[in-house]
Structure 1
């Protein structure tokens, strides 16, 4: 199956105390790479989230964003530095005694120096929150896969169109390549006839034509090229990730086309080689986005 590496999925889940949003975005990457951003209280389940996503995504750069909102997301806790408070109280008491002040020490006096009192926010952590995150991740992952499959279907249509064009050029070259040898024989015979005034060795001519035919023969490359295209088409229907295999086949196809180009001793074949390379370059652009 052709599945794109580009996709997006989003899920929002709510409970009485929480509102959790999970967004997953994937883009092209040679391997499988994760970048997960979420609140600190969820860091301990990061590996579990990666394992969960591994059932949906096998290749690409995966970015996950988890946000938590709601009254249950954060609890506030008061912390008192009793030793500092005691020292501050004693200081006020000494001032009163030294200057014979009659006012009582009030709580307002102590609160004017609030360093001893601190309110900390503690992020909550419980099974309900964690389970809700896993549910949201799964829903977002399903949306992501759906988008990757949809885009993959569009890629497959274009790829098959390019492969059909490749096959058409290969068939033209198979029919035309034998003519190259006969045309070379005619040109060579004409030149030898001109230089030798009609008295040339037919055996020598046949030998030269045979050498040329061996050097210019592209049937083997065309056969392998067509075989690679057949494997390419079969691979498109495989259920597992196929991007790397398609990339390998494309490299082999490029190698055959380059060989044909190096053997080409004809302007028409050279022109078709340029067209083949153009089609392979278009295929490469599409394959780079396939999982």
Structure 2
């Protein structure tokens, strides 16, 4: 089964009074690259979570976002830092006494001073959310998100594989037409060359059947495309087999498409036949479309 390198998965769970949301998205990449974005206190789990991702994804860039939100039992409001307030008040009194300054520090002034408010993310983590407990929790939530990612990649992969197989079938049709045209190339050349010589012959030279036969034989050897056609048929069968394989096949398919393109180019350079050259152009167009699709297959 072929997998696309593009996909998205999401999951969420509750633990220790917190809601943890996992988002996983993947895009095309030559290798397997995993980028994790975690809250600072969970960076110690980065290596294990990366290995988990690599169990599901063999090729592509994967971005993992893990966000922690406080549950209902945790207040979401900032708290007043009583110690900071007391420090500011004592400092104001000390300045007034030492330097004879007038004026009072109002509540509005106090609340605007740095450090007076404690943001929710800076509060101490509750005791029930011990760091050791979070390892299996994060693993479980990430796997659920990765399962959603894999399902999407699988669906997209089926569409890509179906499109590639359809184009391979068209290539095989063109290949069959080439097989039929190949034997006529030499015969057409022989007839055209003989007609040209006949038109040019004004009686000043004698027609040499032996030299004429040698010229046709040299052309036949130079324009022979039997080996290229045989290799192309082999590549078609290999591609169809790989599309049904249960392993990442994107690189192998890309290599085979390059080989097919090379064989088609060789046929185009050998074939001195308009209809055959037209089939070469059609083949190259289909191969380019397949190559674009394979850029998204794992």
Q: How does 1:17-56 map to 2 (within 5 A)?
A: 17-56=17-56
Aligned to 2:238: 231
- Please give the alpha-carbon distance, in whole angstroms, between the structure 1 residues aligned to 2:75 and 2:161: 45
Instruction: Give TM-score, length-normalised by structure 1.
Output: 0.86
Aligned to 1:2: 2
Q: Unaligned regions of 5+ residues in structure 1, if any? A: 100-107
- Please give the alpha-carbon distance, in whole angstroms, between the structure 1 residues aligned to 2:214 and 2:234: 32
Aligned to 1:173: 178
Aligned to 1:252: 259
Question: In the alignment, which of 127, 152, 158 is matched to residue 147 of structure 1?
Answer: 152
Alpha-carbon spacing, 1:138–1:112, altered in 2? closer, same or farther (3 Å): closer
Question: In the alignment, which of 122, 128, 133 is matched to residue 138 of structure 2?
Answer: 133
Alpha-carbon spacing, 1:84–1:252, altered in 2? closer, same or farther (3 Å): same
State the 1:194 CA deviation: 3.1
When structure 1 is superposed on structure 2, of 84-93 and 128-137 the one drifting more is 84-93
Q: Is the 8 A contact 2:80 2:116 kept in 1?
A: no
- Please give the alpha-carbon distance, in whole angstroms, between the structure 1 residues aligned to 2:278 and 2:180: 15
User: Is residue 267 from structure 1 mapped to residue 274 from structure 2 by the alignment?
Assistant: yes
- Please give the alpha-carbon distance, in whole angstroms, between the structure 1 residues aligned to 2:145 and 2:229: 46
Q: Is the 8 A contact 1:7 1:27 kept in 2?
A: yes
Q: How does 1:274-289 map to 2 (within 5 A)?
A: 274-289=281-296
Aligned to 1:57: 57
- Please give the alpha-carbon distance, in whole angstroms, between the structure 1 residues aligned to 2:223 and 2:112: 94
Alpha-carbon spacing, 1:176–1:184, altered in 2? closer, same or farther (3 Å): same
State the 1:114 CA deviation: 6.0
CA displacement, residues 43-92 of structure 1 (integer Å, 9 cap, x when unaligned): 22122211110000011111111111114699979584798876655445
- Please give the alpha-carbon distance, in whole angstroms, between the structure 1 residues aligned to 2:8 and 2:159: 16
- Please give the alpha-carbon distance, in whole angstroms, between the structure 2 residues aligned to 1:199 and 1:180: 26
Q: Is the 8 A contact 1:19 1:68 kept in 2?
A: yes
Q: Is the 8 A contact 2:34 2:53 kept in 1?
A: no
- Please give the alpha-carbon distance, in whole angstroms, between the structure 2 residues aligned to 1:112 and 1:150: 55
Q: Is the 8 A contact 1:56 1:141 kept in 2?
A: yes
- Please give the alpha-carbon distance, in whole angstroms, between the structure 2 residues aligned to 1:80 and 1:128: 32
Q: Is the 8 A contact 1:24 1:63 kept in 2?
A: yes
SS of the equivalent of 1:55 reads helix
Q: Unaligned regions of 5+ residues in structure 2, if any? A: 102-106
State the 1:288 CA deviation: 0.4
Q: How does 1:172-211 map to 2 (within 5 A)?
A: 172-196=177-201, 197=203, 199-211=206-218
CA displacement, residues 255-276 of structure 1 (integer Å, 9 cap, x when unaligned): 1111111112111011101100
Alpha-carbon spacing, 1:123–1:145, altered in 2? closer, same or farther (3 Å): farther
